[in-house]
Amino acid sequence: MTAARILIVEDERIVAEDLRLTLLQLGYEVTGSVASGEEAIPLAKERSPDLILMDIFLAGKMDGITATGEIRKFSAVPVIYLTAFADTTIMDKAKITEPYGYILKPYQERELHTIIEIALYKYRLDRQLRESEERYRRIVETANEGIWCIDTTGRTLFTNQRMAALLGCSVDDLVGRNVSEFIVPDDLAAYTREWTERHLGKRGNYELRLRHRNGSVRWMHLSSTPLYDEKGAFSGSFSMLADITDRVIAEENLRQINEELEERVCKRTADLDHQVHFLQQLIDTIPSPVYYKDSNFRYLGCNRTFESYLGLSRDAIIGKTTNDIAPQDLAALTALKDQYLISHQGIQVYQIKFPHQDASVRDIIVKKATFNDSSGRTLGIIGVWMDISDRVRAEEALTESEKRFRAVVQDQSELIYRFRVDRRILFANKAFLDYFALDENKTVGYIFRLPIHPDDQQSVNDHFASLVPEHPVGLIEYRCTRGDGSVAWQQWSNRAFFDGAGNVTEYQSVGRDITRKKEIEEQQRRAFQQIEQNLQQFATLNDHIRNPLAVIVMLAGLKEDENSRKIIEKSREIDQILGRMHAGYLDSEKVRMFLRKHYGIEG
């Protein structure tokens, strides 16, 4: 399934970046991130996201609610509002734009994921409902049959345009009128019996006559079913009506047609000779060789393509057997196949190599079947040749290509192998075998399990269990023991292959050694820890300076001489510098929280 594409509209950079990374970790695609409503509107139109995360209070003249209103003019994309204030007035204003949810900041990752999934699911349901309603409306309005819905008294509740047209009326003319007004009097008794059946909960199919507005009588076929209200009480009936007037007239005319039939049979007999000629022309247009034989295996006919393959005319073929016109080995095989087909009936398919009259050897699939007379007696065999020479050459080329592909894979530096669910190795390239110090002859075709570090085994099991038809590919990092006994980190891209029932048949894994990358990450983590310690020491130093400074200011304030005044001024300057440094420390705390959340760096 394609990842949902999400547009972020948030004017706080750290919050916007936090949202972007969180969405990527949750498997979504971020199609853009902007800080104002003025930027969001054209970007939503250009990129058509699947969902928008919209902050209500934005930089610029336009707030998120106004921006959503503008987007609603050209798109029904679901919008989830982000806000730090759950103010009733704001919420009431936001409701006008029909959002799919609200998220209060600071948000929780699980809450964000849940609200997004619910919004996407609700949007899909809303769209399906709109499409369904439109479909059924079109079906009713474009139906070839008339639709007539009446209540328990026979009064018309609903009818479609087709029904109105069948009676020469408008829909408004029919609604509210009783159905009995349109029934031919002689058919009212039959209608009453059918109406009683509806009351008993039975469906019915019947025919009756209705009067057209112009006074003519139209025959109708009705398929009726009873209707019930929410309490299960009978509330009327629903009927589909088809105008069968033409059919009734046609049945009346059938008698005259039958009288003419005998005369036409005589003429038809004369036409059969022409049809035989036509059929010969027809099979001549078939590009594949076609022939037919009698039960004694003598050719009765063939098309021109068959003649061209043998290099013989039709007159030279008819009346002959395969022994007369084909090489001895092919004739012997054909005789055996023909005898088996005549005795067992059915269809026969096999492949041969045929020496074409142009001196080339063709790969042919022969498909034959018996044909019978009206009593079921076998009269002979009809056969079709399918020239698959081009396909055979293509398959040979494909086989050669596969050999080249395997050679390319063997030369790859990445670790590549395929295995079944029972861990039996189907293929492993040289890089994989060398990395784990394995012998190909003792590995391919045998059950093999990677020497995974015990601490990583459960996460590996969970990873493979998460591969499903909707998400067959996954990426994971874990440790394995190499052939020399050392423990190394690898990154693996795994793909699962499934059968028609959705069951895993095999896996393909492509890996690379990332041990050095992990070592660098560990060095970075330690460096950030050292920075954290330095910042903590600075905070402590700040307190150690400010406390004595306050005492100095107090003592200097006891005197009113010039030196005391200068001491107080300098102390205040130092205090301001410390205040700015403390503000920087608080800002650094936000950065540390960001590093902890997205890079796992702890103090």
Are 503 and 379 found together in one domain? no
Sign of CA dihedral 309, 310, 316, 318: negative
User: What pairing do the DSSP bridges indicate for beta strands 290-294 and 217-228?
Assistant: unpaired
For residue 483, the SS3 value is: coil
| Composition of the chain by helix, strand, coil, percent to 5 | 50, 25, 25
Lowest pLDDT segment from 193-197, 336-340, 536-540: 536-540
Express each pLDDT in 169-216 by its tens digit.
998 998 999 998 999 999 999 999 999 999 898 999 999 999 999 989
Read off the amino acid at residue 422: D
Six-digit token string for 505 = 């048949």
Question: Has residue 508 been placed in a domain?
Answer: yes
Express each pLDDT in 267-283 by its tens digit.
777 777 788 778 888 88
Residues 183 and 209: beta-carbon distance below 8 Å: yes
Express each pLDDT in 215-242 by its tens digit.
899 999 999 999 998 888 999 999 988 9
CATH number, domain at 350? 3.30.450.20
In this structure, what are the phi and psi dihedrals at residue 167, rounded to the nearest 5 degrees?
A: -105, 5
* pLDDT given at position 210: 93
Lowest pLDDT segment from 94-108, 401-415, 500-514: 401-415
My answer on whether omega of the bond before 106 falls inside 30° of 0, hence cis, is yes
Are 472 and 502 found together in one domain? yes
Q: Which among 319, 287, 288, 285 has a CA at the least distance from the CA of 301?
A: 319
User: Which residue is it, tokens 């919004």?
Assistant: 119
* CA–CA distance, 427 with 406 (Å, rounded to integer): 10
Question: Has residue 279 been placed in a domain?
Answer: no
Question: Has residue 304 been placed in a domain?
Answer: yes
| 599 pLDDT more than 60 | no
Read off the amino acid at residue 579: G
Count structural domains, the chain.
5
Are 133 and 147 found together in one domain? no
* CA–CA distance, 70 with 9 (Å, rounded to integer): 14
* CA–CA distance, 30 with 295 (Å, rounded to integer): 72
For residue 150, the SS3 value is: strand
375: containing domain = 286-392
Q: 90-109: string of b/e by CB count within 10 Å (b at 16+)?
A: beeebeebebbbbbeeebee
User: In DSSP terms, which residues pair with 234 in a beta bridge?
Assistant: 228
| 553 pLDDT more than 90 | no
* CA–CA distance, 178 with 168 (Å, rounded to integer): 16
Q: Which among 312, 364, 316 has a CA at the least distance from the CA of 337?
A: 364
Are 564 and 590 found together in one domain? yes
Are 21 and 128 found together in one domain? yes
Residues 283 and 306: beta-carbon distance below 8 Å: no
Are 385 and 440 found together in one domain? no
Q: pTM to 2 decimals?
A: 0.34
* CA–CA distance, 155 with 262 (Å, rounded to integer): 51
Are 36 and 115 found together in one domain? yes
Question: Has residue 400 been placed in a domain?
Answer: no
* CA–CA distance, 448 with 455 (Å, rounded to integer): 19
Question: Has residue 260 been placed in a domain?
Answer: no
Are 304 and 358 found together in one domain? yes
- Select from 392, 422, 446 the last residue of a domain: 392
Residues of the chain with pLDDT > 90: what percent? 45
Are 122 and 148 found together in one domain? no
In this structure, what are the phi and psi dihedrals at residue 291, rounded to the nearest 5 degrees?
A: -150, 165
